[in-house]
Amino acid sequence: MSDSRSEHTSFDAIVVGAGFAGLYTLYRLRELGFSARVLERGSQIGGTWYWNRYPGARCDVESLQYSYSFSDEVQQEWHWTERFASQPEILRYIDFVAEKFDLKRDIELNAGVKSAVFDETRERWTVTTEDGRQMDCRYVIFATGVLSVPVEPSIPGLDAFQGKVYRTSKWPEAAVDFAGRRVAVVGTGSSGIQVVPAVAQQAERLFVLQRTPNYSVPGYNAPMDPDFERDWKANYREHRQQAAATRNNNLFRPGTAAGRDTPPEEREREFEERWKTGGLGFTYAYPDLTLDEEVNRHASDFVRRKIAGKINDPEVAARLVPTEYGIGGRRLCVDNGYYETFNRENVTLVDLREQPLVSMTEHGFRTQAADYAIDDLVLATGFDAFTGALVRIDIRGRGGLPLKQKWSDGPANYLGLTVAGFPNMFMLAGPGSPSVLSNMVISIEQHVDWLAACLGYLKSRDNASIEARPEEEAKWVDHLISLAQKTLIFRTKSWYTGANVSGKDNSYFMYMGGTNNYVREITAAADASDYGGFIIK
Ligand code: N01
């Protein structure tokens, strides 16, 4: 990729991360005439879609929507082969876009960033890579991903295990063959639910270690319907506009009538209809589906019945059905044959609530009920989301204050884009924005478009500095909390609230008021008030 590693060390902007966000940022920075460098720790571009290349990995937002909208040429030229794109296809798409716009010449691979330090006298950032190289820039932009730092699970004896250990979030580039092997998968979130059916097809024996069952709806993935694709390509602009008017940048046909005011038989029909369609649209049947207790109970019971109906053994079914929380409180999963996998002879569900995991052993694992022999262990155990990637970089703002310290009580931010005390620093799709509650590619574009307008404004003022006003940041945090408190997510423990990482539980990692409202708010903060929430000098 870029072979100009040591030629230039000073840039208008440095972007950290070459996933969807980093690539589009580079494209817009070039349009502004900024000198820019993208630093990527992976050995390929693609971010999430480079690292999470486990068998079965697939996006659960439809391919025609989970793609860049900024270039109609790209939209027309690229052909998605399936309703939900697989990880290899998304990676090929990202590469296609990077080649088309000649982005790679400004990207350095294998260039993890160790620190970013703000120099108050020069009002510039010094960015240091893990191999000790220093660069400096006026503006630093973190496009580091929301789910890019895996959590190391607390499993006693992991080091003692003599078999192979694979992580879904860091899967080897070479294909892994599980034929003839005894495998255990730990974790039943979106990653586990995708990897389990794929491993089950190969492995001699598969143990699925489940701690908390999740709700999963069918994906019904299928080859792309040519008529559907033709319609989208002919009307892409309208489809994108309609999606941007929703609360998540995604066309889920959101219901408008309150579930509370809808008779139960009618609700049942609507749920059935949405179940047949498949995908994440299930929870958008009614605007109060995750707010009203009765409606939520009905939707949860409906999915519980559907799950149970897929499993031959009623005892296994009872273990797979979530009972402790309502649908929508945690990230809904989308599966292609996950539940049916438990009807296979070679697959055993190990319910860690009935038989807690005691430890790994040299050749297997031990629960309070039994010892199990395995050859390979697959960890699908989740991420230190939202802030994990940012606090692992030694980011220091005004007065040398580490971001990690500033965020010891929560990720204070203004507009989900900036942090008071950290001038000329921007975060993309991270804490304080709708982030993973939306179609991320479009949310990323909305962030980058805001950033580009802001940088254009600063450029027109002689490359001025920008910094969030602390009082505006405090108001934004209160706003995030009050939005969160209205939701079921707030009352349910999951990685959405940081509950999967010790000491991290928090309520305001995301803006929960909908992407449409969010875009209105950040646009108003820029246009209507002429960046009045910021100090610009
Ligand atoms: O991670 P998770 P993920 N012992 O945190 C379990 C996106 N994504 O990688 O729930 C035993 O959801 C943990 O158990 P519990 C998507 O946004 C998207 O699966 O804490 N178990 C849980 O079951 C998704 O939500 C796509 O009780 C342990 C699992 O590990 C997000 O990424 C595909 C354990 C972790 O689930 C994260 O999903 C994949 C332990 N010590 C991911 N520690 C698509 O687009 C953890 N667990 C389709």
Q: What's the longest Cα–Cα distance across the chain?
A: 70
Work out the pLDDT band at 5, boundaries 50, 70, 90. Answer: low
* pLDDT, tens digit, 9 for 90 and up, residues 425-457: 999 999 999 999 999 999 999 999 999 999 999
Q: Which residue has the CA at smallest separation from atom 12 of ligand 1? A: 189
Listed residue (177, 227, 221) closest to 55, CA to CA: 177
337: tokens are: 């044959």
Closest CA to ligand 1's atom 40: 153
CA 510 – ligand 1 centroid, Å:
18
The pair phi, psi for residue 415, each rounded to 5°, is: 65, 10
Of 359, 27, 39, 438, residue with least CA distance to 184: 359
Question: In the structure encoding, which two tokens stand for residue 247, read together?
Answer: 């609360």
pLDDT for 332 beyond 50: yes
82, 77, 117: which is closest to 97 by C-alpha?
77
Residues composing the chain: 537
> What pLDDT, on the 0 to 100 scale, is given for residue 482?
97
- Residue 3 confidence (pLDDT) above 60: no
Q: Residue 283 phi/psi, 5° resolution?
A: -80, 0
- Give the position of tokens 């649209």: 281
Ligand 1 near 208 CB (within 6 A) = no
Beta strands in 180-232, from DSSP E residues, in sequence order: 182-186, 205-210, 216-218
CA of 149 to the centre of ligand 1 (A): 12
- Could you tell me the two tokens for 62? 């439809």
Pairing of strands 113-119, 107-108: unpaired
pLDDT of residue 528: 81
Residue 2 has pLDDT above 80, yes or no: no
Residue 10 phi/psi, 5-degree rounding, is -125, 130
| pLDDT tens column, 29-77 | 999 999 999 999 999 999 999 999 999 999 999 999 999 999 999 999 9
Residues 461-473 pLDDT 10s: 999 999 999 999 9
Cβ neighbours around 296 below 10 Å, total: 22
Cα of 436 from ligand 1 centre, angstroms? 14
CATH T-level topology, domain 10-149+385-467+512-531 = FAD/NAD(P)-binding domain (3.50.50)
Ligand 1 centroid from CA 211, angstroms: 10
* pLDDT score for 234: 98
Cα separation, 299 vs 360, in Å, equals 38
User: Ligand 1, atom 13: nearest CA belongs to which residue?
Assistant: 187
Residue 529 has pLDDT above 90, yes or no: no
Distance 28 CA to ligand 1 centre (A): 33
Instruction: Determine the angle formed by the axes of helices 20-31 and 440-460, rounding to 10 degrees.
Output: 30
pTM of the predicted structure, to 2 decimals: 0.96
Nearest to residue 229, comparing CAs of 60, 80, 86, 66? 80
Listing DSSP states for 414-441 in one string gives BTTTB-TT-TTEEESS-TTB-GGGS-HH
**Domain ranges for the chain:** 10-149+385-467+512-531, 182-227+237-379
pLDDT at 237: 97
Q: How far is the CA of 189 from the centre of ligand 1 (A)?
A: 4
What's the rounded mean pLDDT across residues 376-388? 98
* Cα 65 from Cα 353, distance rounded (Å): 38
For residue 49, give every residue at least 6 positions away whose Cβ sits within 8 Å of its Cβ, in sequence order, or none.
19, 87, 90, 91, 94
Token readout for 498 is 């940081």
CA distances from 421 to 143, 405, 499 (A): 19, 12, 27
Please tell me the residue having the least CA distance from ligand 1 atom 21.
187
Q: Which of 49, 62, 211, 353 to mutate to test the pocket of ligand 1 (most atoms within 8 A of CB)?
A: 211
Percentage, residues of the chain above pLDDT 90: 96
Measure 83 CA to ligand 1 centroid, in angstroms. 23
188 Cβ below 6 A of ligand 1: yes
Give, in order, the Cα–Cα distances in Å from 127 to each of 135, 140, 373, 390, 394.
5, 9, 47, 13, 10
Residue 181 has pLDDT above 70, yes or no: yes
Q: What is the pLDDT of residue 4?
A: 47
Does any ligand 1 atom lie closer than 6 A to the CB of residue 147?
A: yes
Specify whether the CB–CB gap between 300 and 326 falls below 8 A: yes
CA of 193 to the centre of ligand 1 (A): 9
Centre of ligand 1 from the C-alpha of residue 192, in Å? 7
- Tokens 């390979």 map to which residue? 376
Q: What is the pLDDT of residue 233?
A: 98
CB-ligand 1 contact for 388 (6 Å cutoff)? no
Determine the residue of 86, 155, 381 to mutate for testing ligand 1's pocket, defined as the one with the most ligand atoms within 8 A of the Cβ atom: 381
Please report where in the chains the tokens 């009765």 appear, as a residue.
294
**Which of 285, 319, 5 is closest to 135 using CA atoms?**
5
Ligand 1 site, residue 212, Cβ cutoff 6 A: yes
pLDDT at position 505: 82
pLDDT on residue 8: 74
- Helix, strand, coil percentages for the chain (3-state, nearest 5): 35, 20, 45
Measure the CA angle with vertex 386, ends 385 and 388; round to 5°.
65
Asked if residue 423 has pLDDT above 50, the reply is yes
3-state SS class at 166: strand
Q: Note whether 289 and 259 are within 8 A (CB).
A: yes
Q: Is 387 in the pocket of ligand 1 (CB under 6 A)?
A: no
Instruction: Establish whether residue 436 lines the binding site of ligand 1, counting it when its CB lies within 6 angstroms of any ligand atom.
Output: yes
Q: Is 191 in the pocket of ligand 1 (CB under 6 A)?
A: yes
Asked whether the ipTM of the predicted complex exceeds the cut of 0.85, the reply is yes
* Cα 494 to middle of ligand 1, angstroms: 9
Mutate to test the pocket of ligand 1, among 61, 147, 191, 494 (most ligand atoms within 8 A of CB): 191
How far is residue 336's CA from residue 341's CA, in Å, rounded to a whole number? 10
Q: Please determine, for residue 205, whether its predicted confidence score (pLDDT) is greater than 60.
A: yes
Select from 190, 335, 360, 510 the residue to mutate for testing ligand 1; criterion: most ligand atoms less than 8 Å from CB.
Answer: 190
Report the C-alpha gap between 127 and 134 in whole angstroms.
6
Cα of 190 vs centre of ligand 1, distance in Å, is 6
Q: What is the pLDDT of residue 270?
A: 98
> Quick one: tokens of 442?
């479009």
What tens digit of pLDDT does each residue of 294-327 get?
A: 999 999 999 999 999 999 999 999 999 999 999 9
Q: Mean pLDDT, the chain, as a whole number? A: 96
Positive or negative: CA dihedral 196, 198, 199, 204:
positive
For 95, counting Cβ atoms within 10 Å of its Cβ (0-12 exposed, 13-18 middle, 19+ buried), the class is: middle
Nearest residue to 148 (alpha-carbon basis) of 46, 301, 268, 61: 46
Q: Are 33 and 60 in contact (CB under 8 A)?
A: no
The separation between the first and the last C-alpha atoms of the chain, rounded to the nearest angstrom, is: 36
- State whether the beta carbon of 380 lies less than 6 angstroms from ligand 1: yes
